[in-house]
């Protein structure tokens, strides 16, 4: 380059590129030194292990006091095992994302969303569905209370509400209405009969405190 008007010597294009390359190389080397990452150290991603479709595994489920031996694909949920393999269709499949509570069952006495649990993970646990509540032809106190308080319309969400209510009452029979509301917040009723549901659960808790 020619000298500038101020008399200072300019930098040639070749010299400029040499300096720029040196700075860039030094920066890359410093990054590798600080992060410990180099091209040679790059680890190839692991391959996903895919289970062949229709490959089944033995699964033993204890449901409503009975033991069932099944052959299921590992991806089958507890919900689908109950409905499609044991014909226990009282447990409803609605959102299938653990958001509506319609598929609630009891696992070891506690309410769970059966759509979010794999059947293979339910082995060794005691499962109770809506079909297992009535004993000797007599409805469970929560079922009786739902009928008496007319706590249902289309009835599709009702089994999930009942199972959730049984679970929370078994853990605490002195629930207040606010505690019941919070405990059932994971269950959705699109018909909107929440006031009757709360009344029914409170009534059932009272009956069960008395030994019903």
Report the predicted TM-score, pTM, of the whole model to 2 decimal places.
0.75
pLDDT tens by residue, the chain, 212 residues: 444 444 555 556 556 555 555 555 555 554 554 555 544 445 566 666 566 677 999 999 999 999 999 999 999 999 999 999 999 999 999 999 999 999 999 999 999 999 999 999 999 999 999 999 999 999 999 999 999 999 999 999 999 999 999 999 999 999 999 999 999 999 999 999 999 999 999 999 999 988 65
pLDDT score recorded for residue 210: 80
Of 83, 80, 112, nearest in space to 98 by CA: 112
Pairing of strands 104-107, 126-128: antiparallel
Interior/surface letters 122-158, b for 16+ CB within 10 angstroms, e for the rest: beebebbbbbbbeeeeeebbbbbbbeebebbeeeebb
pLDDT score recorded for residue 32: 54
CA distances in angstroms from 110 to 10, 66, 172, listed in the order given: 81, 18, 12
Give residues with Cβ within 8 angstroms of 126, minimum separation 6.
62, 106, 107, 108, 109
């Amino acid at each position: 380059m020619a000298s500038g008007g101020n008399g200072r010597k300019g930098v040639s294009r070749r010299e400029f590129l040499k300096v720029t390359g040196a700075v860039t190389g030094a920066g890359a080397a410093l990054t590798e030194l600080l992060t410990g990452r180099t091209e040679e150290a790059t680890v190839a991603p692991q391959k996903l292990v895919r289970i062949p479709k229709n490959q089944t595994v033995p699964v033993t489920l204890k449901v409503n006091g009975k033991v069932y031996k099944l052959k299921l694909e590992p991806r089958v949920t507890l919900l689908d095992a109950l409905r499609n393999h044991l014909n226990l269709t009282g447990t409803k499949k609605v959102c299938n994302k653990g958001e509506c509570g319609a598929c609630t069952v009891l696992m070891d006495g506690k309410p769970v969303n059966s759509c979010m649990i794999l059947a293979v993970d339910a082995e060794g646990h005691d499962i109770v569905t809506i079909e297992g509540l009535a004993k000797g032809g007599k409805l469970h106190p929560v079922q009786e209370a739902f009928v008496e308080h007319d706590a249902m319309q289309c009835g599709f969400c009702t089994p999930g509400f009942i199972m959730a209510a049984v679970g929370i009452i078994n853990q605490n029979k002195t629930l207040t209405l606010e505690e019941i509301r919070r405990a059932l917040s994971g269950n959705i009723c699109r018909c909107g009969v929440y006031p009757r549901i709360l009344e029914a659960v409170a009534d059932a808790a009272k009956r069960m405190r008395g030994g019903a």
